[in-house]
C-alpha cells in the first residue's frame, strides 16, 4: 500500500541541514502527471530531478500529492 508522510514543520520534526545531507539542486525539476499511472488506473504525479548522469524520479498518487499540498497550504497559507 502506498503511503505519504506529510511533515508540516520540518524543523520541529528534527530535520535540519546539519543533520542530513541536504543538496541544493541546481538542475531542472520537472513535475508532471499520468492519467493511469497506477495498476488500478488512478492518476499519479511524478517529480523528476535532472542530474548530471541520470534523472531521479519520485512518484505518488495524485490524491496523496493533493493531500500533502492541502495540509501545507493550511499550515502556511497560499502564497500564489
State the pLDDT at residue 17: 64
Q: What is the largest CA-CA distance in the chain?
A: 41
Mean pLDDT per 10-residue segment, the chain (80 residues): 76 73 76 93 92 86 94 93
Please give the distance of CA 34 from its chain centroid, rounded to a whole number.
Answer: 15
Q: What residues contact residue 75 under an 8 Å CB cut-off, 6+ apart?
A: 8, 9
State the pLDDT at residue 71: 93
Residue 64: is it exposed, middle or buried by C-beta count within 10 angstroms (0-12/13-18/19+)? middle
State the pLDDT at residue 69: 94
Alpha carbon distance 17, 77 (integer Å) = 24
Amino acid at each position: 500500500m502506498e503511503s505519504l508522510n506529510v511533515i508540516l514543520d520540518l524543523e520541529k520534526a528534527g530535520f535540519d541541514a546539519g543533520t542530513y545531507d541536504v543538496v541544493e539542486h541546481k538542475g531542472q525539476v520537472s513535475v508532471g502527471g499520468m492519467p493511469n499511472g497506477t495498476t488500478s488506473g488512478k492518476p499519479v504525479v511524478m517529480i523528476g530531478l535532472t542530474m548530471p548522469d541520470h534523472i531521479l524520479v519520485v512518484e505518488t498518487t495524485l490524491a496523496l500529492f493533493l493531500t500533502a499540498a492541502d495540509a501545507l497550504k493550511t499550515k502556511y497559507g497560499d502564497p500564489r
